[in-house]
Amino acid sequence: MFFGNLFVYFQFQGKTHIDADTRLSVFIVLLVLAAIGIVFLLLLRPAQSTDGEMVRRDEGGPLYALRRAFVLLVTKEMILLSVTFFYTGLELSFFSGVYSPSIGFTKQMGPNVKQLVGLSGIFIGVGEVVGGAFFGILGSKTIRWGRDPIVMFGFLIHTISFFLIFLNLPNSAPFGDTDEAAFINSNAYIAILCSLLLGFGDSCYNTQIYSILGGVFPEDSAPAFALFKFTQSVAAAASFFYSSHIGLYAQLGILVFLATFGTISFCFVEWAARSKKAKGYNGAIDEPDFIDGAVVSKHE
């Protein structure tokens, strides 16, 4: 978030048109950074079981994880959370692939508007880091008061940012350079403020999604997380497809609609989990195991 967008910020400085050489240099630098990140990822040590702990022969393998994912997929909790997952995928693709370029296409902001593309990405990253650190510090409070207030706060932050974007950018901004006027005089400070709000609101959702997956599915957190990333990725792909065909205002309308229902569905799951916890239910989803031809319950 920081280094890539900081590089773009300086590369686009003073440019009214992004020439082929600039695009090539940005592409090469970002490609090298991505390759370095993949190398470091491959160098990570594989997870190992602790000594003395019995592990099923198929546990931890891809087939087992896939089987558990299908089991979780049809549960009421996961169906409700899928709405939240889908929204996070839409807003992820919006702030990473639609909003910042839309700022750069709005000529009403002045001759150095291209430079704001990188600056917008930097402030999205700042919002993500500040929100993640803040809610990480308040982790104990989350357990006490629940996750739903933070998600509702993220919904409020995103709704405010969507409204400001609606006022500040023209409808044709996602399609290319435009002289179209917005509802107000397009302002760079409001645009960057919205970037900060988008990142901060996204951290509200993501930190609490990670928390609720571990809380509601304590014995199946890996398959649950896989379903989260799968649903989020499908939503991001769908958003990237329609974002090049419909205007900014319609995209904001879709985001507000999904944000509303995604927040409501998350709260339902959180309230149900809190009620089960009060009754002493551990949240595990039982499924029989087959060991040497005998059916053995996981909790026996």
Q: What is the pLDDT of residues 40-85, one digit of tens each?
A: 878 877 655 544 444 444 455 667 777 888 888 889 999 999 999 9
Among 206, 192, 133, 201, residue whose Cα is nearest residue 164: 192
Q: Band of the pLDDT at 220, cuts 50, 70, 90?
A: confident
pLDDT more than 90, % of the chain: 48
The residue type at 143: I
Rounded CA-CA distance 288/269 in Å is: 25
- For the chain, the structural domain boundaries read 63-279
Instruction: Select 63-279's CATH number: 3.40.50.12160, 3.30.1490.190, 1.20.1250.20, 2.40.128.110.
Output: 1.20.1250.20
- In this structure, the number of other CB atoms found within 10 A of the CB of residue 129 comes to 15
pLDDT at 182 exceeding the cut of 60: yes
42 burial class (0-12, 13-18, 19+ CB within 10 angstroms)?
exposed
Dump pLDDT digits (tens) for 153-170. 999 999 999 999 999 999
What DSSP letter does each residue of 47-95 carry, written as one string?
Answer: P-PPTT----TTTTSHHHHHHHHHHHHTSHHHHHHHHHHHHHHHHHHHI
